[in-house]
Amino acid sequence: MTAETREVRVRLAPSPTGFFHMGTARTAIFNWLFARQHGGSFILRIEDTDRERSRREFEDSITHGLRWLGLEWDEGPDGNHGKEKGKYGPYRQSERVEIYEKSLERLLREGRAYYCYCTKEELEAERQGLLAEGLPPRYSGHCREQKTPPHGKSPQVIRFRMPEGIVEVKDLIRGTVSFDMNLIGDIVIAKDTHTPLYNFAVAVDDEEMKISHVIRGEDHLSNTPKQIVIQRALGFLEPVYAHLPLILSGARAKLSKRDMETSLLDYKARGYLPEAMVNFLALLGWHPTDNKEVFTQDELLAKFNLKRVQKSGAVWSGEKLDWVNGEHIKSLKPKELVKRIREFAKEEKRTVADSASFEKIATLEQGRLARLADFFDLADFFFSLPEYEAGLLAWQNDTPEKTQHTLEESLSILRAIPQKKFLRDTIEHALGELIAREGRGSVLWPLRAALSGKKASPDPLDIMEILGHDETTRRISSAIEKLK
């Protein structure tokens, strides 16, 4: 059996040393899509070997973020009081020490690993000596043949006896990538038999959890040959590898994991839709065969293909994210839009005024929303008119006197419309003669400013219908007073 013929099992294996960031989210999406396309399993494994920096709140942000994106995992911690699902657990590396001990002891017994007694000071001196000669720093293998501890010394770490030669990584995205293991040296795989380090733990876990495909970021490519030689030493089946391009900032620098702007849940708090985030992140490195850029989850499942993932870095664009999110907001049906806005307001402790016309307001503003959070700035005037300067009321070169006169005529016309007939079409018809005489801008601009207190707003005719007869005439009256 080969990894290619095994049941598809992929894993997301984040380290809980920081909040769930965009790079991990993109990796999760690619793994989830691949698993679902092939009828396989998507496993969540928490790689918390860095015990000093790993925190449960960071793990919680990972599980919360995955569920918000709609990426439910088949095995792993379920984010609920420490419970797990799946038969290959535990799924936290900190709880798998006994499993690692067996493989470490086997490597030591077979001479494929050994205790290193070199102190930090000795290793640093060796490193500086190599650098002074213009050579790449690598461990000399000083303790390779050390059968008994040197006098007065105790083991510092466990090293893997690195085989010589070339290791070829057959990558689904990058093709064959070759590594000269002679340049790497004997790597440290554990501090002791109870404390494995990353490359060793990953190699064991991927075997024990029957992982068939490892889909992860390009920054892990250099770790892959190290994991492969450990797998071979233990007689493990090698997974198929696919290394995704880095996500780059606009300055083409790698997005930092510790940069809070890259935290997924920060974007949730700013009003981005989960389906839009999945859509946008899927396009960071992958491109469909056509020019389509807005996808539902089902459409991504139908079109996604690892063969169309690029090798070069994918550039992050906040403008593109806003556009994609805006397109997804536009696609929401009115009742769903209202539901999303109210849920967002509740989670972010925003105030949403009760209004019988709330659905109309939301629908009217829908086309202007890049994020749900925008609603509260764009639509606030429906609920409470903001302060504004009288100068805002004048259209282009119109004088204050002309603006006042036009508003007074508009007010007289609007007051004559019965409350029950105060609808957009009726209002537009009633104002038609005044607009024809004075010009559309001279009539509607002062009305826009008087009703919204803003330079940009929806059509004032729509605003009037939503505000109703009494509130519309009250606001216009107040505007006239400003001009006196």
The letter for the amino acid at 359 is E
Contact 207, 218 (CB under 8 A): no
Burial class (CB in 10 A: 0-12, 13-18, 19+), 84: middle
Contact 186, 162 (CB under 8 A): yes
CA 436 vs CA 91, 397, 415: distances in Å: 72, 18, 20
145 appears as a binding residue in the annotation: yes
Contact 169, 176 (CB under 8 A): yes
Residue 231: name the closest of 195, 207, 262 by CA: 207
What would the two tokens of residue 347 be?
């989670």
The C-alpha angle 39, 31, 246, rounded to 5 degrees, equals 160
Q: What are phi and psi of 96, to 5 degrees?
A: -115, 20
State the Cα–Cα distance between residues 190 and 202, nearest whole angstrom.
12
Catalytic residue among 257, 303, 330, 421: 257
116 appears as a binding residue in the annotation: yes
Q: Using CA atoms in the order 66, 72, 73, 78, what is the torsion angle rounded to 10 degrees?
A: 70
Contact 375, 338 (CB under 8 A): no
User: Is 197 in a helix, a strand, or coil?
Assistant: coil
Residue 329: name the closest of 296, 358, 360, 367 by CA: 367
Q: What is the DSSP letter of 116?
A: E
Residue 230: name the closest of 288, 167, 307, 180 by CA: 167
Give 381-441 as a DSSP string.
HHHSPPP--GGGGS-TT--HHHHHHHHHHHHHHHHTS-GGG--HHHHHHHHHHHHHHH-HH
State the Cα–Cα distance between residues 477 and 40, nearest whole angstrom.
66
The letter for the amino acid at 202 is V
The letter for the amino acid at 318 is G
State the Cα–Cα distance between residues 271 and 273, nearest whole angstrom.
6
Q: Is 85 a catalytic residue?
A: no
What would the two tokens of residue 121 be?
């000071």
For residue 56, count other CB atoms closer than 10 A to its CB: 13
Binding site, annotated residues for Zn(2+)? 116, 118, 143, 145
- Annotated catalytic residues are 257
Binding site, annotated residues? 116, 118, 143, 145, 257
Binding site, annotated residues for ATP? 257
